[in-house]
Amino acid sequence: MTQPDATRMHRISDENERLVDLVLDYSRRRILSNDTPLDKPASPAELRRLAGATVTEQGLGADRALSIFEHVLAPACITTDHPQYLSFIPVAPTKAATAFDLVVSASALYGGSWLEGAGAVHAENEVLTWLAREFGMPDGAGGVFVQGGTLGNLSALVAAREAARRRLDKRGEAHPTRWKFVCGAEAHSSVASAARIMDVEVVRVQPDEDGVLRGDAVAAALAEHGASVFAVIATGGSTNFGIVDDLAGIAAAVRDHDAWFHVDGAYGLAAMLSPLARDRFAGVEHADSVIVDPHKWLFAPFDACALIYRDPVAGRLAHTQHAEYLDTLTDSAEWSPSDYAAHLTRRARGLPTWFSLATYGAAAYREAISASIALAQRIAAHLADRPGFRLVRPPQLGVVVFEREGWTKVDYDQWSLRLLEDQRAFVTPSSHAGRTNARFAILNPNTTYEQLVGILDTMK
């Protein structure tokens, strides 16, 4: 190496070291912060004005780029792990999970095949096996971590339809003119999305007045639609109310029909870890597939969904991709995560969950989930007795839905905007049966009863 080349390499090395130090210093401050502002979105015009042009021929340099992110871009993103972030379904990753997410990226891991990422896949599979055991599924159950519940539901339903096709082919029977699956009328929006992608029909069944989809209603739908139904989807904790369907009754109905039983537990199935809610999920052990999102109630960073098959062979038969350059993988019996969902390239997104569980232990998770459920019950009791308020439904898990008497949608909208503008809380209005309401999605262990009561005090 010539002297100029050596000088250049040293300079690049020094620059890279300084860049990494900058990013790690910011990351350390952010991870350890306990008072990160709630923050709020900015308009496109405001962001253009404040950030200026950031993608240029010569680059801005690490200092300037990081400064723009820290002082302009990040404050225009709502802090989803803030204790007063109570909309949608929040995220509240442990410090261990967030820190280890940096390690996953820094390690240049590929999580798609055993050949390339055996150690990472082993650790992910340990988490999946633990979850399957918690859900009462048999030995041998397993699956893969995918991006989120939408991809998890889609992948499970694709496997379900392929299993139905193989079953009919083996019997020499014709396929239905149009495949269908059965779900509750309040099933997650990703279910309808999956139906559009797969070009299948959705048979929506009305739940009872309490919002619970029960086995007798599912049995009636199966009797009406017959062999065209390849799957039944039950919800293990709905997003809007946190309602758990009658999993045992639905499982019994499915057993009398040649169909796949899938449980969408993206938000709520993690509540099985708590003794306060475990009994609500009786029947999930009969599922052919389940999903649960660690980036929700399993305290992992975005984005991770655990998709678990009762018989993983069904997932592999549906999803393994074939190409000449992949023969070395597909001809092997080793466990390659890319074989179990609608994906190929993937990061080892289950590792932050593994590291956090390995660090803190499952008991800490049970305690944190139980605390959220207990807090939801406590604030629901307060709402039921508070003049001028109406509890829409008693909470089953961590979602509390309520109305302020006499308020219109405009009132809720203005109140929500005012809360965020004042950096008091992030609570977006929701609705049910044509009536606007408010909703607390309680998940963060740092959320307190006093904070929730204080938010209610602003509804004047």
What digits encode the pLDDT tens for the residues 20-54?
999 999 999 999 999 999 999 999 999 999 999 99
Please check whether residues 306 and 397 belong to one and the same domain: no
What digits encode the pLDDT tens for the residues 278-306?
999 999 999 999 999 999 999 999 999 99
- Residue 3: the pLDDT is 56
Q: Could you tell me if residue 90 is inside a domain? A: no
- Residue 48: the pLDDT is 98
Please check whether residues 375 and 453 belong to one and the same domain: yes
Q: How confident is the model at residue 2 (pLDDT cuts 50, 70, 90)?
A: low
Q: Could you tell me if residue 166 is inside a domain? A: yes
Please check whether residues 356 and 367 belong to one and the same domain: no
Contacts 24+ apart (CB under 8 A), 222-225: 222/182, 222/253, 222/254, 222/256, 222/257, 222/259, 225/180, 225/182
What digits encode the pLDDT tens for the residues 203-216?
999 999 999 999 99
Q: How confident is the model at residue 7 (pLDDT cuts 50, 70, 90)?
A: confident
Residue 19's alpha-carbon distances to 55, 98, 280, 289, in angstroms, are: 18, 20, 50, 44
- Residue 4: the pLDDT is 60
Q: Could you tell me if residue 383 is inside a domain? A: yes
Please check whether residues 317 and 390 belong to one and the same domain: no
Q: Could you tell me if residue 65 is inside a domain? A: yes
What digits encode the pLDDT tens for the residues 66-119?
999 999 999 999 999 999 999 999 999 999 999 999 999 999 999 999 999 999
Range of the domain at 218: 101-360
Cβ neighbourhood burial of 206 (10 Å; 0-12, 13-18, 19+): exposed
**Domain end among 83, 111, 137:** 83
**Domain end among 315, 341, 360:** 360
Q: Could you tell me if residue 174 is inside a domain? A: yes
Please check whether residues 345 and 385 belong to one and the same domain: no
Please check whether residues 47 and 196 belong to one and the same domain: no
**Domain end among 344, 360, 376:** 360
Q: Could you tell me if residue 224 is inside a domain? A: yes
- Residue 333: the pLDDT is 78
Which CATH number does the domain housing residue 108 bear? 3.40.640.10
Please check whether residues 69 and 105 belong to one and the same domain: no
- Residue 331: the pLDDT is 75
Average pLDDT of the chain is 96
Please check whether residues 340 and 421 belong to one and the same domain: no
Please check whether residues 166 and 248 belong to one and the same domain: yes
Tell me how many domains the chain contains: 3
CB 295 within 8 A of CB 334: no
d(CA 174, CA 172): 7
Q: Give the residue-averaged pLDDT of 249-262.
A: 95
Which CATH number does the domain housing residue 412 bear? 3.90.1150.170
What digits encode the pLDDT tens for the residues 359-371?
999 999 999 999 9
**pLDDT at 439 > cutoff 70:** yes
Please check whether residues 170 and 217 belong to one and the same domain: yes
Q: Could you tell me if residue 89 is inside a domain? A: no
Token match 């199966």: residue?
222
Please check whether residues 220 and 163 belong to one and the same domain: yes
Q: Could you tell me if residue 353 is inside a domain? A: yes
Please check whether residues 388 and 431 belong to one and the same domain: yes
CA 63-68-70 angle, 5° bins: 90
Residue of 330 and 159 predicted with greater confidence: 159
- Residue 326: the pLDDT is 81
